[in-house]
Chains A and B, each alone.
Chain A
């Protein structure tokens, strides 16, 4: 503040330094940086406190495993506390030690599966392969068998989750509309090159141009396929599952 006043007269200077207005000016200039520093500090402190708290919670869960198993009320409260401070309940489970009731582990996976389906629905039209599902989990502790078992449990909900087989590969369908056999066949064709087209369908399935286009366009409309109008010769229809394949050959 001080060195910019070199041109001021002495009186100004005294007023500057002693008057209330000086305080105001200093306030203006310094408040912002002080508050931001303060917030940053608080943030850091809270983060570190939280992480310590999280560790403790996990330790607590391991120690009082039996209590948690036998007392559902305690268990619910505990899990609610975990989720409130940002611990993914899945990280709390340990299959070897059967932390909590072992079924809870699968319930948590179910929840996560539903979440992944919901997030990716707008990209893939609601059909997702099991491999892709598995990639969405925060820890590597989840094995494919766990996932499959959980999805089996999901199906008992009758909530519109369905396992479909596309060329022997398991996929989960999270939209309520049932796939027609024609649509399934197209997805099967897609699983080879990533895309389908009228000519591919004619060669492989013997479909007419009219039938192919009608079904393909319908699948684009419901978001199961992405349209690609720049391919040489004809329009291609891509399966969004191939978004994550980096080795696309045209």
Chain B
């Protein structure tokens, strides 16, 4: 996990909350960068409050733990980091299970990217299921391929707000979308 992250990830005092306010501000910024970088490289859409990827079972390593240098972030400081993540719109809290979506692109940027796919692949005015968007062969290689379906729904809602999309429900669950 440490291989792709910036060098400061191996700097032991990063895992202790620094008393100097200016330095702590820098430290929080560095943590936000690390989490975003981690999520982007590992293509993790959703992270638990403890810092583990939410989907792949519980055996994954937390981003807040660095076994190489035997350090981990204390929970009170983790809270502060999440606060900063939300504040800078790098993360989105999920109400249902108190996990976080990590936004290495903003929602607007994602929805623009999705819209671009609809436009460039001639899918305007057709019903496309969320499954097709996320798992389908046609979006292979797109940055949003494999996205968490709930996050995808949020992006599509943005498109609906702009009057470009209409969501289709089946059994009270959003299943498809039509984009014009």
Residues of A within 8 A of B163 (CB): 28-29
* Distance in angstroms between the alpha carbons of A226 and B18 in the assembled complex: 7
Q: How large is the interface on B (under 10, 10 to 19, 20 to 34, 35 or more residues)?
A: 20 to 34
- Any chain A CB within 8 A of the CB of B180? yes
A-B interface pairs (CB < 8 A), number: 76
Segment touching A, from B44-52, B64-72, B168-176: B64-72
Q: Mark A1-39, 1 if CB is under 8 A from B, else 0.
A: 101100000000000000000000000110011001000
In residues 217-250 of chain A, which contact B (Cβ within 8 Å)?
220-223, 226-231, 236, 238, 240, 242-246, 248, 250
A122, B7: Cβ atoms under 8 Å? no
Residues of A within 8 A of B10 (CB): 246, 248
B22, A122: Cβ atoms under 8 Å? yes
Min C-beta distance of B13 to chain A, whole Å: 4
B11, A242: Cβ atoms under 8 Å? yes
- Any chain B CB within 8 A of the CB of A123? yes
Query: Of all chain B residues, which has the CB nearest A28?
Result: B163
A1, B180: Cβ atoms under 8 Å? yes
- Any chain A CB within 8 A of the CB of B15? yes
Tell which of B13, B112, B125 touches A236, judged by Cβ atoms closer than 8 Å. Answer: B13
Q: Mark B18-31, 1 if CB is under 8 A from A, else 0.
A: 11101101100000
Residues of B within 8 A of A240 (CB): 11
Residues of B within 8 A of A195 (CB): 12
Min C-beta distance of A176 to chain B, whole Å: 16
- Any chain A CB within 8 A of the CB of B138? no
- Any chain A CB within 8 A of the CB of B105? no
In residues 163-188 of chain A, which contact B (Cβ within 8 Å)?
none
Tell which of A36, A223, A246 touches B23, judged by Cβ atoms closer than 8 Å. Answer: A223
Q: How large is the interface on A (under 10, 10 to 19, 20 to 34, 35 or more residues)?
A: 20 to 34
B7, A246: Cβ atoms under 8 Å? yes
A230, B72: Cβ atoms under 8 Å? yes
**Known A-B contacts A123-B23, A250-B70; A227 and B13 likewise in contact (beta carbons under 8 Å):** yes
Residues of A within 8 A of B142 (CB): none
A33, B7: Cβ atoms under 8 Å? no
A32, B162: Cβ atoms under 8 Å? yes
A248, B12: Cβ atoms under 8 Å? yes
B164, A230: Cβ atoms under 8 Å? no
Min C-beta distance of B74 to chain A, whole Å: 9
**Known A-B contacts A28-B163, A230-B72, A244-B7; A123 and B15 likewise in contact (beta carbons under 8 Å):** no
Query: Of all chain A residues, which has the CB nearest B69?
Result: A250
Residues of B within 8 A of A125 (CB): 23
Residues of B within 8 A of A236 (CB): 12-13
Tell which of A29, A223, A248 touches B20, judged by Cβ atoms closer than 8 Å. Answer: A223
* Distance in angstroms between the alpha carbons of A245 and B114 in the assembled complex: 40
Tell which of B8, B20, B70 touches A243, judged by Cβ atoms closer than 8 Å. Answer: B8
Mark A residues whose CB is within 8 Å of B.
1, 3-4, 28-29, 32-33, 36, 122-123, 125, 195, 220-223, 226-231, 236, 238, 240, 242-246, 248, 250
Given contacts A227-B13, A248-B69, A250-B12, 20 further A-B contacts (CB under 8 A): A3-B125, A28-B163, A32-B162, A33-B119, A123-B23, A221-B20, A223-B20, A223-B23, A226-B14, A228-B12, A229-B16, A230-B70, A236-B12, A238-B11, A238-B12, A244-B8, A246-B7, A246-B10, A248-B10, A248-B12
Which 9 residue pairs of A and B lie closest in terms of their CB atoms, listed nearest first?
A: A226-B13, A228-B13, A228-B12, A238-B13, A229-B16, A122-B26, A223-B20, A243-B8, A243-B11
Offer 11 A-B interface pairs, CB within 8 angstroms, sorted by A.
A29-B163, A29-B164, A32-B164, A33-B119, A195-B12, A221-B20, A223-B22, A226-B18, A230-B16, A244-B7, A248-B11
